[in-house]
Amino acid sequence: MVKQTIISPDAIPCLPVFAHACISDGKVYVSGSIGCDRNHKVVPGGVKAQTLVALDNIHTILRASNSDLEHVVKMNVYMAHLQRDFADMNEAYLQVFPQYPHARTCVGVACLPLGADVEFECIAEVVPAQAESN
């Protein structure tokens, strides 16, 4: 089994201790993404804004991995204030995933990197390259 490491120049830069994603056995495993800017500052606007930025970053990483949002099979969500922010996170989440249901887990945690309110990681199917027609 060969592992392919993905570091996308279009995504928010990752820290040197991990890659944006790894591809193995037809699946892309996307590292955790929080709602921060390219300078690793959490975006203002609370959990809704952070959700949209984090999921946009995941979308960028998936595209760099020959996948896309509709190929997500599992999403893990980590929330620093689960009871307070769950409804707002879901409202923003549905803007990104209005019609592509997948498995999802949402877990309340004590804290997240940089003081973020929410972090997402996912597993998606890699889309095979289309065969060229003669």
Q: Are 19 and 100 in contact (CB under 8 A)?
A: no
pLDDT computed for residue 73 by the predictor:
98
pLDDT computed for residue 25 by the predictor:
96
- Domains of the chain (ranges; CATH) run 4-125 (3.30.1330.40)
Q: How far apart are CA 112 and CA 6, in angstroms?
A: 23
pLDDT computed for residue 93 by the predictor:
98
Q: Is the pTM of this model over 0.85?
A: yes
Alpha helix (H) residue ranges in 2-127: 46-64, 82-96
Which residue ranges of the chain lie beneath pLDDT 70?
Answer: 1, 100, 130-134
Q: What residues pair up with 36 in beta bridges, in sequence order?
A: 42
pLDDT computed for residue 5 by the predictor:
97
